[in-house]
Structures are given as structure tokens and as C-alpha cells.
Structure 1
Amino acid sequence: MAFDGPAPERINGRLAMIGFVAAIALELTRGQNIFSQIQNGGIMWFIGTTILFSIASLVPLFKGVSADSRSEGVMTSDAELWNGRLAMVGLIALAYTEYIKGGTLV
């Protein structure tokens, strides 16, 4: 769980990937921007998802299984890290754009 350890960036990346897809999907289906989504019950979903994915990501690490050892084909640990990083940037860009625009992106 060290700052530069394998868990923090991987867990944050997984949460960002889920958050980005969920934010875009809810925006397209309900027409709510990311700030409205948070105000209308999104905090509870965020807390639940964070707990679930944190535990699910830590269990293999505690059992001694590394993400690098299970990487094969196109689903490598490096690809997951880069997808997570892009999702983190995407969430920030989405929130910033909607804040500046004053409404939904789409």
C-alpha cells in the first residue's frame, strides 16, 4: 500500500475507468452532468464501488499474485495502467468542461 506500490495506482485506475463510463452513460441516458449525478445519490454509489473494488484488488495481492504475472496478450498490466491513467484524465477533463460550460457535455 506504499505510495509507489502496485495497489494505489491500479485501484484508482480501475475506479476511474468505471467512473468515466458510468458518468458518460448517465449523461447520455438521463441528461445529467457529473455534478448533478454526484448530488443525486452518486456519493453512495461511489463509496460502495470504492470499497468493493479496493477489496477485490487487494485480495490477490495479499495472496501473492502480482498483476504482471497474469498478463498475457493484449490484456497486460501495462495496458490496464495506461487505460486507468487515461480514465483519470478523462474524468477530470469531463468535470472541468462541464463546469466551464455550465451543463452537460453532450
Structure 2
Amino acid sequence: MYISSLRNNSSFRVRSMAEKEHKEKLATRVTPPTLPKSPPQPASTGSPKVSTRFLDVMAFDGPAPERINGRLAMIGFVAAIAVELAKGQGLFEQISNCGIAWFWGTSVVISIASLIPLLRGVSVESTSGRIMTSDAELWNGRFAMLGIVDLAFTEYVKGGPLL
């Protein structure tokens, strides 16, 4: 029943060999209505414009916050593991023994070094290579952030250094 009702409302015909005039008539009849054409878009000539305003660069979805935090986390995770292996101090002990001063100094240097190219209009993707891509940097930073949290949680539960 459902198929037969569709068949009654359908105006679709198939003809195998038709004359040229009939093909033109059929083409004009079958052709769906066209939408109004939009104005042509200008072709992009080069890389997209990147905002150099400080508030745009540092916005929640801007290019700087996650990259800076990821870079700091990568340095912090490697430093925390290295100091723990060398001196046997856990993460919390490292922070209490002059670790805050090192953290602030590193944060300022890395933040300024990361912001200078972005504020000059250089996009992060334009500086990517084959191996060292911008996506790889983001993922390494995310894993380093998780690593620091995991290291702190494990040392808290264990009650001392991880190693």
C-alpha cells in the first residue's frame, strides 16, 4: 500500500531513445528549481589572517593558552622526574624547596617566548614541520599535564616520592 501511494504521486519517467527536442523539453521539466546564486567568494591568496590582538591570542579558544600551558607542563614533568631520579625528592618536596621560584621564572620566560611570534601574526600551523607538528605539540602538552597530575596524585596516595 505504501509503495503504491508513492507510485501514484510520482511524475518520473524514463525514456531510452528520444529526439533532441523532446530531451530539451524533458530536461527543462525535470530540472529542479535553482537557488539564487551567491556572490563569488574571493580566492584566498596565502595563509589566513591571524589576529595579533592580545585578547584574541589569549582568548579561551585562542592559540596561546593551551600551548603555553602544554609547554610548561612538558618542561615541568621532565624536570620533576629528573630531580626525583637525581635527588630522590618527590614533587611536593620539590615545590617546597625553592620550586615556586623556578616555576614562576620558567613560566614568564616560556610565556613571553610563546607570545612574541603569535603577536607578530605568525600562525602556529605555519611553523609546523613534518615530525614536529603543531598537533603533536598539543598532544604532548596534554599528556604532560596528565602526567604531572598523575605524578602528584600517586605521590600523595603513596605518601612519598614515586621512585
The structure 1 residue matched to 2:89, chosen from 32, 35, 48, is: 32
Cα distance in 2, alignment partners of residues 70 and 40 from structure 1: 37
Under a length normalisation based on structure 1, what TM-score does the superposition of the two structures give?
0.99
Cα distance in 2, alignment partners of residues 48 and 98 from structure 1: 25
The structure 1 residue matched to 2:134, chosen from 67, 77, 80, is: 77
State the partner residue of 1:13. 70
Deviation at 1:67, TM superposition (A): 1.0
Cα distance in 1, alignment partners of residues 102 and 118 from structure 2: 25
SS in 1 for 2:95: helix
State the partner residue of 1:68. 125
The structure 1 residue matched to 2:80, chosen from 23, 35, 40, is: 23
Under a length normalisation based on structure 2, what TM-score does the superposition of the two structures give?
0.65
State the partner residue of 1:103. 160
Unaligned residue ranges in structure 1 (runs of 5+): none
Cα distance in 2, alignment partners of residues 104 and 83 from structure 1: 24
Percent identity, please. Answer: 70
SS in 1 for 2:123: coil
The structure 1 residue matched to 2:114, chosen from 45, 54, 57, is: 57
Aligned residues: 106
The structure 2 residue matched to 1:44, chosen from 70, 76, 101, is: 101
Residue by residue, what CA displacement relative to the aligned partner does 1:19-60 show, whole Å, maximum 9, x if unpaired?
A: 000000000000000000000000000000000000000000
Structure with higher Rg: it is: 2
SS in 2 for 1:32: coil
Higher helix share: 1
Cα RMSD for the two superposed structures: 0.4
State the partner residue of 2:53. none
SS in 2 for 1:64: coil
